[in-house]
Structure 1
């Protein structure tokens, strides 16, 4: 009698796990299938530290780009 209860309990656990996975999996698939952004932001390299930053956040001085005001000023001070 104890073995039958154990098997029934295990079968219920397996069925519950299977149903849970079946319910959760479509939600996970929907999250993974987000389309990429249509236009990636252009990146530029800081002339001082060589770090890449988005062009919209960079500072331009002629044809050179800088990641911060401090790097722009340091570059201007150098001969």
Structure 2
């Protein structure tokens, strides 16, 4: 029984010392990551899917998600 009390006392002592050390050495405050800059999103003129502006293909009448949609839109809407 005395041995069990000794083990419990040692565990409590270690737990208290670790807690005190944590309070003395707090973690540095988290700094927000620098934002790389949100890129504007655009919608495909034919299907409406949204994609980053740098991935969009410009065409007559707007921007498109791919070459097939650009060609299909330009076929449906010939230049006047």
Shorter-chain TM-score: what band? 0.5 to 0.7
Larger radius of gyration: 2
The secondary structure found in structure 1 opposite 2:58 is strand
Residues paired across the two proteins, number: 75
Question: Within the alignment, does 1:54 sit opposite 2:57 as a pair?
Answer: no
What is the TM-score when the length of structure 2 is the normalising length? 0.61
Residue of structure 2 in register with 1:29 after alignment:
30
State the partner residue of 1:44: 42
More helix by share: 1
CA-based RMSD of the aligned residues comes to: 3.1
Cα-to-partner distance string for 1:13-72 (whole Å, 9 max, x where unaligned)? 45446756986833x724xx21223x4322211112212212111001124111111221
Give 4+ residue runs of structure 1 displaced > 4 Å after superposition: 17-24
Q: Which runs of 5+ in 2 are unaligned?
A: none
Gaps of 5+ in 1: none
